[in-house]
Amino acid sequence: MNIIVILLLIVCIASMLMSILVLTRTGENESRMDSYFKAYGDAIAKSQMTMSEHQDLRLKELNDSMARLRADSNTQIENIRQTVDEKLQTTLDTRLTKSFGLVNDRLEQVYRGIGEMQSVAQSVGDLRKILSNVKTRGILGEVQLGAILEQVLSPGQYVKNARMKENCRENVEFAIRMPGIDDHEVFLPIDAKFPGDAYNALLEAYDLGEKDQIAEAKKRLVNRIESEAKDINVKYINPPVTTDFAIMFLPFEGLYSEAINAGLIEPLQRKYKVSIAGPTTMAALLSSLQMGFNTLAIEKKSSEVWELLHAVRKEFDRFEAVIAKSQGHLKMASDDIDELAGVRMRRMKRALQRVTDIDDKED
């Protein structure tokens, strides 16, 4: 539309110029030129007015389009914002719910862990109280030793709380029945010892890492173990009722390891005739003794088995003779039966034959 208006304006201007040239050449009068100028001016004014109206209309259409576009854009932006808000809210709610769930699970695990730690701490405290009591420590070692003996040996192979000396009121916790000379029993004393205070002091010194305290605690533990070995020697070793040595059972492998590292095996055997054993060592020792008991039992029973086989052989020879004699008698009886059966059968046949002959003659 604007292009057409511009073209019309150009055409009008060109026509006016041509008219001016023509009027100038022909010499028309001034009034006529004024009328032409006025006409052309009106035409230009009208064209400008038309152009202005078209421009206003175009601007209005453009403004309306921009308004609609702006409204559509705002609507779309609002829809997008709502969609994004909804998705963000949903995602946020989901993740927050999941995160809170994980946090709750972790808190529950922490609470359970704290409860278990409290239970462990209480158990450790109870165990510490138990181990701090001398009598309770002795019972603990005795129970563990009894469990090992029960697993490896039969009830008849050991005794419990047996007195090894007549003039001593102390009873050894366990004694193994050992075969002696002329079928006389010999007992092997085994006593559980647990110097818990000295051993706990050594463990605490290890935790502190103080070399002087560790050395002092080791020395104290060695002295306690030597004192217990001497006590066993005095109270329980009594040949020939017992063996000439005894066994001191240490109920924890750590305690037994400390005794080994301190080099106590040979001195205790030499001075007090006492051997030390931990849980694993005691089980292995008892297994070896059990194998020895089985070997001795087999050797003891072998002579009895041989005598029994010899008697069975004699009885078998007698049985063979009786069987042979019986077979002879049976053979003789069989021959008599065969002979008797043959004679009688022949006589019966002859008698029957005569009867047959008489019948034939009568016919």
pLDDT of residue 266: 92
From the number of C-beta atoms within 10 Å of its C-beta (0-12, 13-18, 19+), residue 176 rates as buried
pLDDT at 220: 93
Classify the C-alpha dihedral 268-272-273-276 as positive or negative: negative
Residue 80 C-alpha from the chain's centroid: 54
Stronger pLDDT, 305 or 252, i.e. the higher one: 252
The confidence band for 246, taking pLDDT boundaries of 50, 70 and 90, is very high
Helix axes 279-362, 253-261, angle to 10 degrees: 120
The model's pTM is: 0.50
Percent residues over pLDDT 70 in the chain? 64
Rg (CA), the chain: 65
Please tell me the distance from the alpha carbon of residue 287 to that of residue 284, in angstroms, as a whole number: 5
240 vs 341: which has the higher pLDDT? 240
Q: What is the pLDDT of residue 90?
A: 80
Residue 358 has pLDDT above 60, yes or no: no
Average pLDDT over the chain reads 76
265, 275 contact by CB (below 8 A): yes
pLDDT of residue 37: 62
- Which residue type, as a one-letter code, is found at position 191? D
Band (191; pLDDT cuts 50, 70, 90): very high
What was the pLDDT predicted at 269? 92
Token pair of 194 as six digits: 């647990």
| pLDDT band at 16; cut points 50, 70, 90 | low
Opening angle at CA 277, ends 276 and 280, nearest 5: 170
| pLDDT score of 80 | 82
What residues contact 346, with CB distance under 8 A and at least 6 apart? none
DSSP 276: E
Inter-residue contact 298 to 258 (CB < 8 Å): no
Give the pLDDT of residue 351. 67
DSSP 104-157: HHHHHHHHHHHHHHHHHHHHHHHHHHHHHSHHHHHHHHHHHHHHHHHHHS-GGG
Question: What's the pLDDT band for 233 if we cut at 50, 70, 90?
Answer: very high
Quick check: helix, strand or coil at residue 165?
A: coil
How many angstroms separate the CA atoms of 217 and 210, rounded?
11
Round to the nearest angstrom and report the end-to-end CA distance of the chain. 170
Q: Where in the chain are the domains?
A: 134-296
> Which two tokens mark 261?
């590292």
- Residue 264 has, within 13 A of its CA and on its CB side, a CA count of 27
Residues recorded for the chain: 363
The answer on pLDDT for 223 being more than 60 is yes
Quick one: pLDDT at residue 317? 66
Instruction: Give CA 176 to chain center in angstroms.
Output: 38
In this structure, is the dihedral angle defined by the CA atoms of residues 24, 28, 30 and 32, taken in order, positive or negative? negative
Asked if residue 232 has pLDDT above 80, the reply is: yes
Q: Which secondary structure element, helix H or strand E, spans residue 173, and what is its range? A: strand 172-179
What confidence tens digit (pLDDT) does each residue in 87-132 have? 777 887 788 788 777 877 887 887 787 777 777 656 555 555 555 5
pLDDT > 90? residue 226? yes
Interior CA angle at 64 toward 59 and 70, to 5°?
120
Predicted confidence at residue 100, as pLDDT, reads 74
pLDDT of the residue at 170: 83
What's residue 40's pLDDT? Answer: 62
**Least confident stretch, 2-6, 48-52, 249-253:** 2-6
Nearest Cα to Cα of residue 274 among 248, 240, 235: 248
For residue 268, what pLDDT is reported? 92
- CA dist list (Å): 11 to 2, 17, 296: 14, 10, 146
Q: Which of 8-12, 103-107, 166-170, 258-262 has the lowest mean pLDDT?
A: 8-12
**pLDDT value at position 135?**
53
What's the CA gap between 162 and 175, in Å, rounded? 7
* H or E element at residue 189: strand 185-192
Q: At 1, is the secondary structure helix, strand, or coil? A: coil
Q: What is the mean pLDDT of residues 212-237?
A: 92
